[in-house]
Structure 1
């Protein structure tokens, strides 16, 4: 198998990371966007361009395409907007695949936070 250094990695958490989310509803009028109340979720794995989250709540991703996520990987709180790509039903909830909409700075922040988190995990062992 050929290793491609340009491919992004995906970090799977030993213990899923706590997060909150708000669904973004695009209005067809002049009101712009409307946000739902906060919901809680767990981030199962993450890469600089996407993540897999688990929630007990059912989200109709056919009607609600975008989500605003708030989480902390190490020390800095991160807020990002994502787009639902897929969903799978589980016994106690639902898993969702989310493509993160960000720039190179947000990608660097995620990578840096993951490196710091992993360093701390290795020191505790």
Structure 2
């Protein structure tokens, strides 16, 4: 599976952004079946098509490959559904690459929220 890590637009957080995730059984359903409780994670960077997240929990991505993330980039909480495409072991915890599988509405929402967040960051630095 080819993963476009160097895509055009990727926002890296100065401080990782807190989020929650839960593993789901089938992401193609309108209301996916939950197969885990919510866990905490940190979003390291995000693009309209995917995210790099960190958690202390090990996830066997070969078997449990769908995830739902709950994240607030600026003001609006966003629910994002994706599939794991890679994992890396860290000293304490794991990093995972997630590719989103839901459509264009999600892309425009992520871009809009990141623009608002960046605008506020720039105004606070003045």
Which residue matches 2:105? 105
Unaligned runs of 5+ residues in structure 2 are 1-6, 27-31
| Contact persistence 1:8–1:48 (CA under 8 A) | no
Which residue matches 2:121? 121
Structure 1 or 2: more strand by fraction: 1
Q: CA deviation at 1:122?
A: 0.6
- SS of the residue corresponding to residue 106 of structure 2 reads helix
RMSD of equivalent CA atoms: 1.2
- Report how many aligned residue pairs link the two structures: 114
Distance in 2, matches of 1:24 and 1:60, equals 13
State the structure with more CA Rg.
Answer: 1
- SS of the residue corresponding to residue 35 of structure 1 reads coil
Q: TM-score, normalised by structure 1?
A: 0.87
Per-residue displacement from partner, 1:69-113 (whole Å, max 9, x unpaired)? 000000000001110000000001000000011211110000000
